[in-house]
Structure 1
């Protein structure tokens, strides 16, 4: 009989469910143990659990996070941004490999552009960073940005905590390099690094006030071959410019360095710059203030996320919004009137 399994020893047939299968219960104890012991597979499973939009997965994800919370906070969190073509992935791979060779464990959370149709990641981070992806001391996690303000996955902060619980002491968060993602990543990291290109003074005129005032360090990338001389000049230009800008962190003047990932020059100097920054910030207690600011920012962003989710989860809400949108486009109602109607009906 189709869908049944029987044996010849007289045992009763066993009914198989062909199309529906109950999801196996999540073993939080095992997941916690695997993560804290440094298992990359367990870490990946834990992050998938946190990223799940399934209602029944949320309590399990938060319980996992609560259990490992005491083992977090021991990393340095570095945000990395840059103009398209600056070579962020090339730099991250070279920088990450240098750090793992020095005994560090490096996690890369690469925030990818998303497909507007599928919502999935367009860029394959593991194919962009093949050597680092194969390094047992490294962990790479691409995150689709669909539906998230500023291009930063809403669970990136929680993912960082799981990585710290798994023993990763350097966490690199790569942004898409445009829009509001820089500010969002700046708010969740300790050190913010901007990758620029040689001779980029003109290109940064329009963005220097926005991005440069967020940057604790500037890397003039691809400083090799014919670009090497120009890169050094560009570094000098940035150093002069940094003195005229509001410092990104109190008591710290933004540093600029020439770096070639292909020649592996300037990488160790970049790490020394970050370590110097950490020392200076801890001496002034700003390090603790910044960590507290990260938590505060996370708290309020989660409140906003929850309010939006709660609003749209109400029965008929999306249909109501769609109907009001039609009225707006037909000039039958004002925007303020439409919003008032939505919330008046919600409070009835």
Structure 2
């Protein structure tokens, strides 16, 4: 009797459980695919991985372009891998052009030393225009990486703004990186980001800029005291750091560990993750409904006409939307079953 051939799902499960990076990479690519057959297989693999995930600390990092996110992640990652024996997955979300669909996946180039470490996995991923520049598939990638044995997940986002709520909803600890002289408005101070930060880091605190960075750190400490205390009971901290000299890196990770200890002991850590899972459920429902609406053949046929009527002032946007939704749900309505007759 010939031995049974392994199914694709079994091959993925075996490779991920062994921490095989090529298999992990293929599984994440599968989860990012929009092909129906890939979606089905990806969901089967992720469902298997789910109970084997959740054992990592998830850290989100955001800041304006040029603040030094990639350099900071490399410095922090090398410290964690070399000094703390951590196994790190960096999910670096790359901006995708809304016009060309292109994506500059350059994070491995910017983190060359870190990417060569045997206990580090860097996965650049196009954001595909999703809210906050964080790919809607990032949460799947987190589950897959955790099931593969990574105990520290770092999610780097593009830019800052209200959209970074998406990243905040995926992580345990949220860092905002800032630089001296860039202006509060530009760096997101008045856009609600700082209220969500568990730590504010002033980067490039080296050379002549170190004194300015230390001064800004003190100013941020004062500013953080005026914000409403978070539900976790944690008091957000401010640090000055340098990716060049390593200044402040150890202290920043000690801050993350202190936060994790406090929140695990209070029960907030797991409660927050439950709320995040609920948030992603509703996010997925909204996305799937939107996809179903725009992929509907009748909507595709009618949408252009309604758009023209709205642009010409013949129909207001709200009536146009209501009519399209009525058309969509009418098309979905099934004939009554024999039990209902």
Alignment TM-score, normalising by the size of structure 1: 0.89
User: Cα offset for 1:230?
Assistant: 1.2
Residue 297 (str. 1) matches residue 279 (str. 2): yes
Q: Across the two proteins, how many residue pairs are aligned to each other?
A: 324
Could you tell me how far apart the structure 2 residues matched to 1:180 and 1:203 are? 13
Q: Tell me if structure 1 keeps the 8 A contact 2:162–2:193.
A: no
Residue 43 (str. 1) matches residue 24 (str. 2): yes
- Aligned position for 2:80: 99
Structure 2 residue runs of 5 or longer lacking an equivalent are 1-5, 331-341
Residue 338 (str. 1) matches residue 338 (str. 2): no
Q: Tell me if structure 2 keeps the 8 A contact 1:198–1:223.
A: no
Residue 89 (str. 1) matches residue 70 (str. 2): yes
User: Cα offset for 1:199?
Assistant: 4.6
- Aligned position for 1:75: 56
- Aligned position for 2:127: 145
Find 1:156's aligned residue among 121, 138, 141.
138
- Aligned position for 2:149: 167
Could you tell me how far apart the structure 1 residues matched to 2:76 and 2:48 are? 31
Q: Tell me if structure 1 keeps the 8 A contact 2:162–2:191.
A: no
Could you tell me how far apart the structure 2 residues matched to 1:61 and 1:91 are? 32
Find 1:31's aligned residue among 12, 17, 23.
12
- Aligned position for 1:226: 208
User: Cα offset for 1:249?
Assistant: 4.4
User: Cα offset for 1:143?
Assistant: 1.6
Task: Determine which structure has more spread, i.e. the larger CA radius of gyration.
Answer: 1
- Aligned position for 2:333: none
Residue 191 (str. 1) matches residue 173 (str. 2): yes
Q: Cα–Cα, structure 1 residues 90 and 270, in superposed 2: closer, same or farther, change >3 Å? A: same
Find 1:176's aligned residue among 155, 158, 180.
158
User: Cα offset for 1:263?
Assistant: 0.5
What do you get for the CA RMSD once the two structures are aligned? 1.7
Q: Cα–Cα, structure 1 residues 69 and 206, in superposed 2: closer, same or farther, change >3 Å? A: closer
Q: Cα–Cα, structure 1 residues 29 and 123, in superposed 2: closer, same or farther, change >3 Å? A: closer
User: Cα offset for 1:86?
Assistant: 0.7
Could you tell me how far apart the structure 1 residues matched to 2:267 and 2:320 are? 47
Residue 113 (str. 1) matches residue 91 (str. 2): no
Q: Tell me if structure 2 keeps the 8 A contact 1:216–1:253.
A: yes
Residue 329 (str. 1) matches residue 281 (str. 2): no
- Aligned position for 2:338: none
Provide Cα deviations, 1:162-181, integer angstroms capped at 9, x if missing partner.
Answer: 00001111111111123343
- Aligned position for 2:109: 127
- Aligned position for 1:61: 42
Q: Tell me if structure 2 keeps the 8 A contact 1:219–1:259.
A: yes
Structure 1 residue runs of 5 or longer lacking an equivalent are 1-24
Provide Cα deviations, 1:75-106, integer angstroms capped at 9, x if missing partner.
Answer: 00001001221100110111111111121111
SS at match of 2:175: strand
